[in-house]
Structure 1
Amino acid sequence: MGDPAGHPGGISLTDRYVTLDGEPWFPVMGEYHFSRDSAERWETELLKMKAGGITVVATYLLWIVHEERQGALRWDGDRDIRRFLELARAHGLFVMLRIGPWAHGETRNGGFPDWLQHSGIPLRSNDPRYQAVVARWYSAVAEQVVQFCRTEGMPQNPIIGVQVDNELYDQPDHLAWLRSSAESAGIVAPLWTATGWGGALLPPDLVPIYAGYSDAFWEESDVRWPSFAHTHFEFSGVRDDLTVGADVRTSELVHRDQDERFPWVTCELGGGMAIAYHRRPIVTPDDVASLALVKLGSGSAWQGYYLYHGGTHVSGEETTTQESHATDYPNDMPVRDYDFYAPIGAHGQLREHYHLLRRQHLFVQQYGRSLLASSTVIAPLQEGAPRWSFRGNREGGYVFVNNHQPAAAPLPDLAGVQLRVELADGDVTLPSTPFVLDRSAYFVWPVRRPFGSLASVSATVQPVTELHSAQGHTVMFAAIPGVPVEFLLEGVAPDRIEGARILSSEGGRTLITVEEPPGLSCAVVIGDTTLVVLDAYTASRLWRGEVGGVDTLAVWDEGLLFDRGHLRLLTGRPGQLLHTYPPLPHHGELTRAERGASVFESYVVTGPEEPGIDLPVSTVREPAGAVPRRTGGSAGRLSAPKDEEFTGAAIMEVVVPRSEADDEHVLLSVRWTGDVARAEIEGSLVSDQFWYGREWDIALPPRSTGQTRVRLQIFPFDPDTGVFVDPAVRPHLERPEVRIHEVRLTRTRTVTVSS
């Protein structure tokens, strides 16, 4: 499958990996639903994704959003797929289109418009009436996207793949027809995919793509942690997860052998988790990042996240568009909120797992080709032993270790850990003495890998990335908390080593540790190669991109965009330090700071004068009581309150002062305890949340010319409710209560450094 041989910039598949222009390529894909965000924000958000290491953007075309009324197709405003694709192309991002017709995505009717859902036509079938309707939909899509399809004459176009339908398990003939129909409409792509989980039967011309979530809103409310979830924290060659989408499945659940003709491609590694009314799991940044690392260590050749960027359900002209009991789906979802606690939130918030994943993506960008050319060996799973794997060959490779699981089933600390890798020229044991493996640790270690001009390096630090220039090689590593820093160098004379303490040297092997604690100033110099060992936090704040035509590393604590050679800093705090290597060619309004012993140049960045303001809350009405208890949907689960029932909710108001600066992004963050909350501005529902212990972020109108009055409608949390809320945050109340702990206005300023 793929482009014909000799195709300029061609994309093809082997049984182990994807190739780009004839070379092994390791894509990193993030899901971002363009129609669930404001079109004026797309460019900035795509740049955030690119800066986070995303190379492929996956997005849904949700049929109900574009053709709510039959025949009245809409491609305007936030529905303008052409504009979105133009921006992706302008910034060098590839695109995977998910064209349905059925999508799921926690959408009303799974994405089918009501007029189709209630037509009486057998849906998701080869019934000629259904085929005719779908063919018209695909033709409408093709009119919008065909100019962005990647062809031999247009290798710069972004669409490299198309997914048909979603979670269709037992109709390979229908899936084959969907591809044929899309191609007949004019949609062209080197890769065609379908979801492979749940033992799906696929036709031979569709690549199976897989999922893995650390928790699941679609489980029942009495489930503490899904029974299958532990498998995603264990290194394994098993690609399938039988539980994803099982709540809406109508066919029998069958485990099937995976298709070894294709590489391991993932599209839905959980970037977080949605919140349903009946079940509200907490997924942590470490849950997300450790699961992703386990897939890397298990043999993944394509990292794909769902969601990577959160969104907001579209308000239709006739109905809301979220999955709900009103359409007999099993879960009641929020009317607007689809934040998913993704690495990038619905309003552009950059969360900790955005940074943790970027560190992995820098590693994949730099060293992914060697991973793809390797074999994977997985250590047997044994109680009391570390979970680890090795991706490499007889010459060397990388050790992957995971000792993290979610709080529902944490793993213990492990004492006396050493890992021994058997290689052609002798074994390598790391570290030199046993250590205690922390219960939350997950990392990658190099074993006999080349870095810079050094031919063979093994280490107890995680490689991140490296820069090469006429002046030499600079390699960035991340220290692992609680693990002593060691480098085992082969073929290096001890007298060539600067900035390190030699622990031993014999038989051509030199074992060293660093003299400085890990951080910006911790560097070992060996000839023309500098090994920089950052502490774990600083390494997660490392960025890489082009500034003024120069490949640049930056250490920056907040948001950062590389935009056509310019550097755009997103800052919510004054007096922040930016560190870059090499120095910036022009630093504009930034002020140079004292450099110290670091290889990085440092600059002071001016943030907002008032980055955060606490706002008072006034109570307009006390709640009449808790949410009326009711069940519904195909699974008989607890239902969210109906619109008319909000007459019994508490009403509170917050008055937000206007923003004077055009370059500021303004967000209202509410810390609260309750059950269900809605926010209205000028009578329109702009945001809602089912409470699950995390802050509720509400986007405010940009460049407001006056005060903004936000009305909050909140139901109290009922201590006797049957909904699942994580025990770590579930309140212990004697009666239903609403509590507003804090309402804070946050401002983020953009500082642009011209090249």
Structure 2
Amino acid sequence: MKRPVAFFIIFALICYSSYAQNRWKIDVTNVDTTVVRGHLKLGGINPDGDKIVVNSHYLERNGEPIIPIFGEFHFSRYPADQWDQEIKKMKAGGITLIATYVFWSLHEPSEGHFYWDGDLDLRRFVELCGKNDMDVIVRVGPFDHGEWRNGGIPDWLYGRPIEIRSNDPEYLKYVERLYGQIGQQLKGQFHKDGGPIIGVQIENEYQHSAAPWGFTYDGAPRELTVARRDVGVTQIQVGINKSGNENSAIGAVHMKTLKKLAVDAGLIAPLYTATGWGYATIIEKESLPVMSAYAYPYWVDEPTPSPFYLYKDIHAKPDYEPVSYNPALYPSLGAELGTGMAVVYKKRPRVPQESLLPMMVREIGSGSNGLGFYMYHGGTTPSIGNHFYTEAFGLNLKSYDYQSPLGEFGFPEGSFYSLKVFNYFLRDFGATLAPCMTILPKTNPTTPANLNTLRYAVRSNGESGYVFMHNFQDHLKTSNIADNRIEVKATKGTYSFPNSGTFDLNVGSVAVLPFNIDFGGVKFKTAMIQPFCKVGNGYVFVSMKGLKPEIVLEGRHKVKGAKATVKGGDTVVSLPSGKAVEFSIDGVEFLLIPFEDALNAYTVNNRLFISNGIVCGHDTHELITTSPETEITVWPAANISVNNGSITKISSAFGSKWKVFLQEVKPALEIKKTDDRHIVLDASGMKWDGVNEVYLSFDYVGDRGICMMDGVLQTDNFYTSRPWLMGLKKYTDTLKDKEMYFYFVPMQKDAPYLSYLDSIPDFGGKKEYLSLPMPKVITEYKVTLVVK
């Protein structure tokens, strides 16, 4: 029978479509879910019965698996009167645990004289964390690093006949005194007492890394803050140690000695942590080895694509391996996952904000059961006049912005919003995820250069779990990966993503998709939407670009507010792309919001808020915004009033929506550009009524900018292609009668850092370049919301 030409064209297109489709298959039926318990000398219970337990794969709290989310915030690098607000903002970002350093040299700048007041008030900071329901890990040193002068080892120890970072009795005498002081400050604040401190980090990067002593000479070899015997096994900053550690046995004794000194000083917590990367020495079975990943480090000579976007079994094979311990005995926990990076004068790596969420999805998808962000909140390194505490390595003398999600002055960067989408998922659904093991597909890329193969992994217990995927690689340009379909073979059947057809994974996109997971009594067979958070008895999900939103439920179910059809005995719930929808399944309430809305979504006191300002708080609700007109959507619906300004209800597709109107304030600032390199600020007439913060944004192009006031350097900035943002609130008192001077240095045509910049300016035949427009003034407001 003769067939029409159109038939063969259609047939050919179908065949081509089937051939071109990327079908990815993975079998999780034989996953080993063995967990070892009772072998670690860790854990504890508080007077209220709050119990923390550690097994070989994850942490448990009151019998439920948890995935902690650490945010590094150095209290001494930030004004004490703003700590409470910043802790609330970190909590709004999904942080569940704050890690902070105690810099020995700052608290004991001269021998025997300790300071614990003002911005150095460690106890006050911990108490504020507790009031905001935030757990704490105190990193007590004695060596911290943290881009701090001598890594925190006091200057007055230099040159003495003492072997620091060893069991030298004279050194231990000083450490014992330090720990004793910290113990006095924190008495009653540990978990065993009902306080917020659940962890203590002993030392840092021991027998792996060190800082240079601040006492140095131009051209002289760097002298490291280590015992002389450990010079050969020590490097500067994070890296791989393939040669091992000939002094590991001696180092292990020192670490156990430090822990004993800490316990004797009252530093008793359920968790003790120690750096685990690069053959660093831990306290065997008495501390958790915590890990790191820096894709944009300043300490390498030539930046190259990193392996930190390639899925692996990170529990069995940690990053920066080999390591000094048996990974099978400990959960994999990140503590220094680079959510930013310091810069030095010669090397100025800029961390793309879009790089951070894919890294974290890879980290958890690879089997980690804890995220730790270094830094999560930036700050300013204190100084005594113009005596600086910054590490002698060409760093900023004052600024410790670190390109953090919350910057030097608390201003949120793009990563604050994107990381929050993942943090909330881990916080609210970690109990189902933590016991799941990582299974890798046979197609798993093994080199960063493989950009065409879908990067994905599955975490499963054999019956249920999550599919993790992302499309990002540092230092390389990726493209969309189109027409994908993933089939997961589990013990209860095969789960397809999507149920029919294919999906595209766009450049920079991520997705975490559940299969056979129960949400409020409704078991999702599969879903092409990502779990976001719990709100009361309801659940919020996120739709991702390139993925057509749908839910597949086994059998028949009662669905309201969304289109549902029965296919092959399953109920398929079809949901709209790119917009929010409220629906219910068998009486359980669900809300689907686009990824763009999730970036601006917050949970406070069992409600979801979506706003272009930050909504935070603990017992109260606060709105922090840079716009005098701000919209807020609340789910479930609620009535809102404000303590200042006015508020109006407007129409909303779900929940209730409100518009807040504030009295616009134009700060009384007199800003003068006196010549091509200098800008002078006079804020003597500034009134702070109705204003939470005032930022100056300098969109200059040059070598560096510095800020001086009253003869003292206040902060500084190395140009990295992004504007320099500076907050004024911390300088309020001095600004009343002192001018602030900004001095900008031109970029040289032969500057060593030019290759790090987004673009190199046209020098026009000159040897230097400086573009200095007037700064932009950004006013920030804070409003108390009354929600009923």
TM over 0.5: yes
Partner residue of 2:36?
Answer: none
CA shift at 1:5, angstroms?
7.3
Q: What do the CA deviations read for 1:648-676 (whole angstroms, capped 9, x no partner)?
A: xx433244562352542111111111112
Q: Structure 1 residue 613: deviation in Å? A: 9.8
Who is 1:2 aligned against?
A: 42
Q: Deviations over 1:291-346 (max 9, x none)?
A: 1111111111111111111011110368310011xxxxxx2111110011111112
Q: In structure 2, which of residues 561, 577, 596 is the aligned counterpart of residue 537 of structure 1?
A: 596
Distance 1:607 1:254, change over 3 A: same
Q: Aligned equivalents of 2:90 and 2:679: distance in 1?
A: 36
Which residue does the alignment assign to 1:594?
A: 650
Aligned-partner Cα distance in 2 for 1:731–1:614: 31
Match of 2:579 in 1: 519
Aligned pair 1:478/2:542, yes or no?
yes
Of 276, 279, 282, the residue aligned with 2:350 is 282
In 2 relative to 1, CA 114–282 (structure 1 residues): closer, same or farther, beyond 3 Å?
same
User: Which residue is 1:206 aligned to?
Assistant: 287
Q: TM-score by structure 2 length?
A: 0.83
Per-residue CA deviation, residues 536-571 of structure 1 (Å, 9 max, x unaligned), is 11012111121xxxx21111122221232x111011
Alignment partner, residue 697 of structure 1? 725
* Paired position in structure 2 for 1:19: 60
Once the two structures are TM-superposed, the CA of residue 525 in structure 1 deviates from its matched residue by: 3.3
Give the SS at the match of 1:129.
Answer: helix
2:701 maps to 1:659? no
Q: Say whether 1:168 aligns with 2:202.
A: no
RMSD: 2.4
Alpha-carbon contact 1:12-1:20 (below 8 Å) kept: yes
Query: What TM-score comes out, normalization by structure 1 length?
Result: 0.87
Give me the identity figure in percent: 28
Mapping 1:57-456, distance limit 5 Å: 57-151=98-192, 154=193, 156-169=194-207, 170=248, 171-204=251-284, 205-220=286-301, 223-225=302-304, 229-237=306-314, 240-242=318-320, 258-316=326-384, 319-324=387-392, 331-380=393-442, 381-382=444-445, 383=450, 384-406=452-474, 408-431=475-498, 432-456=500-524
In the alignment, the residues of structure 1 paired with residue 652 and residue 253 of structure 2 have an alpha-carbon distance, to the nearest angstrom, of 66
Alignment of 1:475-514 (within 5 A): 475-493=539-557, 496-502=558-564, 505-514=566-575
Matches within 5 A, 1:556-571: 556-564=611-619, 566-571=620-625
Letter in 1 for 2:297: A
Give the Cα–Cα distance (whole angstroms) in 2 for the partners of residues 613 and 395 of structure 1. Answer: 63
Matching residue within 613, 621, 629 for 1:575: 629
1:744 is matched with 776
**Deviations along 1:422-450, whole A, 9 cap, x unmatched?**
12232111122123321211121111222
State how far apart, in whole Å, the 2-side matches of 1:586 and 1:458 are: 37
Tell me the SS of whatever aligns to 1:369: helix
- Pairwise CA distance, 1:27: 1.3
Change (3 A) 1:454 1:572: same
**Secondary structure of the corresponding residue to residue 110 of structure 1:** helix
Cα 1:596/1:48, change in 2 over 3 Å:
closer
User: Conserved in 2, the CA contact under 8 Å of 1:655 and 1:708?
Assistant: yes
CA shift at 1:216, angstroms? 0.4
Deviation at 1:254, TM superposition (A): 5.5
Residue type at the aligned position of 1:720:
D
DSSP 3-state at the match of 1:687: strand
Distance 1:58 1:692, change over 3 A: same
Equivalences for 1:700-711 in 2 at 5 Å?
700-701=728-729, 709-711=739-741
Give the Å deviation of 1:379.
Answer: 2.1
- State the shift of 1:256 in Å: 5.0
Q: CA deviation at 1:23?
A: 2.5
Q: Which runs of 5+ in 1 are unaligned?
A: 243-252, 325-330, 623-649
- Once the 2 structures are TM-superposed, how far is the Cα of residue 370 of structure 1 from its aligned partner? 0.6
1:361-383 C-alpha deviation (Å, 9 max, x unpaired): 21112210011122221224234
Cα distance change on mapping 1:368 and 1:741 into 2, 3 Å: same
Once residues 442 and 145 of structure 1 are traced to their aligned partners in structure 2, the CA distance between those partners, rounded to angstroms, is 41
Partner of 2:307, secondary structure, is helix
CA positional deviation for 1:483: 2.0
Deviates more, 1:68-77 or 1:229-238: 229-238
Residues 595 and 362 (structure 1), Cα distance of their counterparts in 2 relative to 1, 3 Å cut: same
Asked if the contact 2:344/2:395 (under 8 Å) is kept, the reply is: yes
1:671 is aligned to 699
- 1:159-192 alpha-carbon deviations (Å, 9 max, x no partner): 1111111111342211111111111222111111
Q: Counterpart of 2:610?
A: 555
The answer as to whether partners of 2:139 and 2:202 remain within 8 angstroms in 1 is yes
Which range moves more in the overlay, 356-365 or 661-670? 661-670
Asked if structure 2 preserves the Cα contact closer than 8 Å seen for 1:719 and 1:731, the reply is: no
Q: How far apart are 1:750 and its partner, in Å?
A: 0.8
Give deviations 1:461-485, integer Å, cap 9, x for gaps.
111013344xxxx321111112222
Q: Are the equivalent residues in 2 in contact too, given 1:214–1:288 (CA < 8 A)?
A: no
Distance 2:521 2:94 in 1: 26
CA distance in 1, matches of 2:668, 2:482: 47
What is the deviation of 1:586? Answer: 4.6
Partner of 2:12: none
- 1:690–1:233 distance in 2 versus 1, CA, 3 Å: farther
Hey, what's the Cα distance between the residues in 1 that align with 2:567 and 2:375? 50
Shift of 1:10: 2.1
In 2, Cα distance between equivalents of 1:96 and 1:276:
28
Once the 2 structures are TM-superposed, how far is the Cα of residue 452 of structure 1 from its aligned partner?
A: 3.1
1:752 maps to a residue whose letter is T
Alpha carbons of structure 1 residues 236 and 607: separation in structure 2 relative to 1, 3 Å: farther
Q: List per-residue Cα deviations over 1:235-266 (Å, max 9, x = no partner).
A: 44266443xxxxxxxxxx95556421111111
Aligned CA distance change for structure 1 residues 240 and 419 (closer, same or farther; 3 Å) = same
Aligned residue type for 1:519: K
Question: Per-residue deviation at 1:532?
Answer: 2.3
- Taking the aligned partners of 1:724 and 1:201, their CA distance within structure 2 comes to 38
User: SS state of the match for residue 463, structure 2?
Assistant: coil
Aligned residue for 1:518, secondary structure, equals coil
Q: Deviations over 1:102-159 (max 9, x none)?
A: 11000001111110133231111111111111111111111111221221xx2x2011
Runs of 4+ in 1 over 6 A off after TM superposition: 611-615
